[in-house]
Structure 1
Amino acid sequence: MLKHNRALLPAIGAATLLATLLGAPANAAETGHGPGDSGNGGGAMTFNQPKHQAHSNAAPMQCKEMTVDGGFETPKLGKGDDYMQFDEDDVPGWRTDDPDGKIEIWGGSMGVTPRFGKQFAEINATGSYNSIYQDIKTKPNTKIYWSFWIRARDSSDGKDVDATSIHFSKTPKNDTSINGLQGQFAYSNSSDDVRWKRLYGWYKTGPSQTSTRVTLTADDSASTDAGYGNLVDGLTITEAPNCM
């Protein structure tokens, strides 16, 4: 997923500071150590449209995608299928806390065009307030840069707004909850049913953190129907900010 936007992702401090500087909601939460400490930290920003930044003469870092199937292009929907609920074992890289173990993938025939490719996912498959997540290999004490897009599902005559969050934490060894260590960095933002909205930022791993869990959670949905809301597409994570 390293083809979305070529805008650089500046690592310029904590999420609250970034939100203040850019006029975004200051609702990012850092529940581990701050960015200036020896532990984990992160920052987040949000734009409805890609942000263009000045050209840099610095040599580009090698681009390597750290996620698996961040665009939800696999498995492919069958001909004529508007959407499909797949068993989590059939979706590369991803897992879920959906009560039926399902991950719902959409095509572009239900009134929403994918932000990238031909498919995207709805976090709520059969339940509400659900999460989808995957574990990625990381280097200790290293910043990684993330980006993904969110959109609300059109489920009423009026404007619908959903809230979606991203969480990062060290991969739990004895998994008792979806976020493991309750998320050493978490950021939540809202989206409407008119356009895709981009969230992006950075996260710093801690000592000995060779595996990191990234989780996308449906915090709130405009619909009262279980299984409705929180569309996501184009998750990409890389060590190189110039690759986003």
Structure 2
Amino acid sequence: MSEYSPGHTLIETQQLKQEVPGREGPLVILGGIDLQISAGETVAIVGASGSGKTTLLGMLAGLDTPSSGAVLIDGLDLTTMNEERRALVRGEKVGFVFQNFQLLPSLTAVENVMLSLEVRGEADARTKALSWLGRVGLNDRASHYPQQLSGGEQQRVAVARAFASQAPILFADEPTGNLDTETGRKVADLLFELNEAEGTTLVLVTHDDRLAQRCRRQLRMEAGRLNEASV
């Protein structure tokens, strides 16, 4: 369970901006976003393609750096850090579920889950990874490689890997986007069940309004701006 009290601000941005050069001047991807997310919240970021959703998620996770402004994770300003230091913070504070799974093809399911545990220096990483695969219903697929797994199974491995890190924050970028409707529903059910059990702060990007409605808070991106939304 989360070590943070519910009112604790775990994610914060201050005038977060991202601009890229364009033919007619700078193209604004993120236009000065101020955001606070407290421990234990479930937050969906919705919006049209190209509105800046995935860019914002990458900034929050410390995967990308902004043109200006600040991103604070548990009070630590990622924008003042070099990549090595950001990677350390990500390893301690952040789990990530990607739309395209991002499993290493040369590793088995259990070895992919073990990675997040080994980064944290966990003892007996294999036993713990097998336990997490059991929680996502993949006991019998632990020794299979990603190419031997269906899309839904690969995403369940990715979910197990994200939660196994025991990070207080879980980011998910279109976690059901590459799955058929029924498989996507099952993965979403699993994601929310584990999130509730672990007390994680969940921030997800999605085009699926039904998935967004399962979060307690919805934010809409429009032309690089972020607003509270009803979906």
Scaled by the length of structure 2, the TM-score of the pair is 0.32
Between Structure 1 and Structure 2, the one with more strand by share is 1
Between Structure 1 and Structure 2, the one with more helix by share is 2
Scaled by the length of structure 1, the TM-score of the pair is 0.31
